[in-house]
Amino acid sequence: MSWRRLRTLMRREVLATFRDPFTVTVLITVPLAALLTFGFVLSTEVQHLALGVYDADSTAASRQLIADLAAKGTFEPQRYPTREAMQHALVNGDVSAAIVIPPDFERARRAPVPGRRPPEVQVLYDGGEAVLAGNAEGFLRGLIAATTRDLAAHEAASMRAAHASVRTGVEVVTRALFNPRLDGKPFMVSGTFGFVLSFLTVLITAVSIVNERITGTFEQLQVTPATAVEILLGKMLPLGAVFALDVVLMVLVAGIVLGVWPAGSALFFIVVSSFYVLISLALGLIISATSASTAEAVQKSVLFSIPLVQLSGFAFPIRNMPRLVRWVAEVFPATHYIRITRAIYLRGEGPLSVWPELLLLALFGVALMAFALRTIEARS
């Protein structure tokens, strides 16, 4: 391999890319925009969720319950005078969940009748917003259970003598490791790296190389003394450097603006990400080799990237998917990269514990680059 030729190829790549203001803008702003969108916008936790309240009891106990729900800021209770008004609000989407406190709430709790059911707080969700409902459900359960315990503990002290025999329910002390406040941002931010480096990288690479094939410069290149390896590296190293820079920028922006810093080694993360970039670049190259026009390259990239991203665990956990789909997900390099990212960012793991995934990525990388080389050398 000739270093001079490689340098010549890389120099041209750099000049051509950076002289195009559009490309430069896209390369820098899109990853950051994606990061901010996903990290900032999509908190998967529940915050300030409008909760409709129909309090049929209006006693101290019911008011206490409402106050507790509002206390942490998770819910924003909105009271309605009638049940119908509240249901209407639910259908309209003014509130996303609603609770109905029964009229005998306090009384039933204070003077329980044995054999009779305790007061039921009815919770209504808009099942049409299943994701929302699911999230809210989790938090609501937890909150109400906590309120229950507090109230129960307060009163159990006075009731212990009378009702020592019949007792149900186990108290659960819960603690979350790695993310005690259950903040949704780190999860989404770490996933965004995978998204950007899979989708954007493949798209840009495929389009730029297709352009070269169409204009004929690629063919001309094949007739020069440059070898396939040199051509491959000459394309991938400069582009890879740009995307690696993107990764650094994203890590910084995520930290400074969103407050999400990697729990583990940032340097290790950047190194792994750079390697993953090369894998995506190779993919982009392969797509461009099989496309005859820009439109085709884009369609193929998008068509391929959509399942890759959705199934990679970036937003939707792979564990929740049916078994066959989970096997398919394992075939995508993005899946493994995102696993590694989460391990580093969220759990602070290091190379020693993620080496199986790294090895897998390395194998993918070698295979894809060999394939990409073949497409460059192709003399069908």
Which residues within the stretch 189-218 sit at the binding site for other proteins (CB under 8 A)? 203, 207, 211, 215-217
Two tokens, residue 376: 């460059």
- Regarding 375 and contact with other proteins (CB under 8 A), the answer is no
Total number of residues that touch other proteins (CB under 8 A) = 140
d(CA 121, CA 101): 5
Burial class (CB in 10 A: 0-12, 13-18, 19+), 347: middle
Window 293 to 352, contacts with other proteins (CB under 8 A): 293-296, 298-299, 302-303, 306-307, 310-311, 315-317, 319-322, 325, 339, 342-343, 346-347, 349
Shorter beta-carbon distance to other proteins: residue 267 or 379: 379
User: Taking the complex as a whole, how short is the minimal distance between the CB of residue 173 and other proteins, in angstroms?
Assistant: 5
Cα distance from N-terminal residue to C-terminal residue, the chain: 24
Choose which of 76, 84, 104, 120 interacts with other proteins (CB under 8 A). 120
Residue 223 in the binding site for other proteins (CB under 8 A): yes
Residues in contact with other proteins, shown as a per-residue x/- string from 43 to 82 under the rule CB under 8 A: xxxxx-xx--------------x-----------------
Single out the residue of 7, 72, 79, 374 in contact with other proteins (rule: CB under 8 A).
7
State yes or no: residue 145 binds other proteins (CB under 8 A): yes
Which of 34/248 has CB closer to other proteins? 34
Reported as half-sphere exposure (CB side, CA atoms, 13 A), residue 175 has a value of 2
Which C-beta is closer to other proteins: that of 40 or that of 268? 40
Least spacing, CB of residue 216 vs other proteins, in Å:
3
- Distance, CA of 258 to CA of 185 (rounded, Å): 8
Q: 48 in helix, strand or coil?
A: coil
User: CB 123 → other proteins: shortest distance, Å?
Assistant: 5
**Closest among 181, 144, 7, 132 to 64, alpha carbons compared:** 144
Bridge partners (DSSP) listed for residue 76: 50
**Binding other proteins by CB under 8 A: which of 28, 32, 34, 249?**
34
Binding range to other proteins, per CB under 8 A, among 3-11, 247-255, 272-280, 368-376: 3-11
Question: Given candidates 187, 243, 269, 332, which one binds other proteins under the rule CB under 8 A?
Answer: 187
The DSSP H or E segment spanning 250 is helix 228-258
Name which position in 32, 85, 121, 266 contacts other proteins (CB under 8 A).
121
Which residue, 46 or 279, is less far from other proteins as judged by CB?
46
366 versus 374: smaller Cβ distance to other proteins: 374
Give the Cα separation of 214 and 203 in Å (integer): 17
**Among residues 1, 2, 259, 290, the one that binds other proteins under rule CB under 8 A:** 2
Q: From the CB of 270, what's the least distance to other proteins, in Å? A: 20
| DSSP label of 128 | T
Q: Which helix (H) or strand (E) holds 206?
A: helix 201-215
Confirm if 284 and 309 have CB atoms less than 8 A apart.
no
CB of 62 to other proteins, least distance (A): 11
28 in contact with other proteins (CB under 8 A): no
How is residue 281 written in tokens?
């670049």
Who contacts 60 (Cβ-Cβ below 8 Å, separation ≥6)?
A: 106
CA–chain centroid gap for 135, Å, is: 15
Work out whether 21 is an interface residue with other proteins (CB under 8 A): no
Taking CB under 8 A as the criterion, which residues in 271-300 touch other proteins?
293-296, 298-299
User: Residue 101 belongs to what H/E stretch?
Assistant: strand 97-101
Q: Which two tokens stand for residue 200?
A: 């954007």
In angstroms, rounded to a whole number, what is the distance separating the alpha carbons of residues 331 and 336?
A: 9
Taking the C-alpha atoms of residue 344 and residue 354, their distance in angstroms, rounded to an integer, is 9
Give the single-character DSSP code of 199. I
Site for other proteins in 96-115 (CB under 8 A): 96, 108-109, 112
Cβ proximity to other proteins: between 83 and 109 the closer is 109
Q: Is residue 135 part of the contact set for other proteins (CB under 8 A)? A: yes
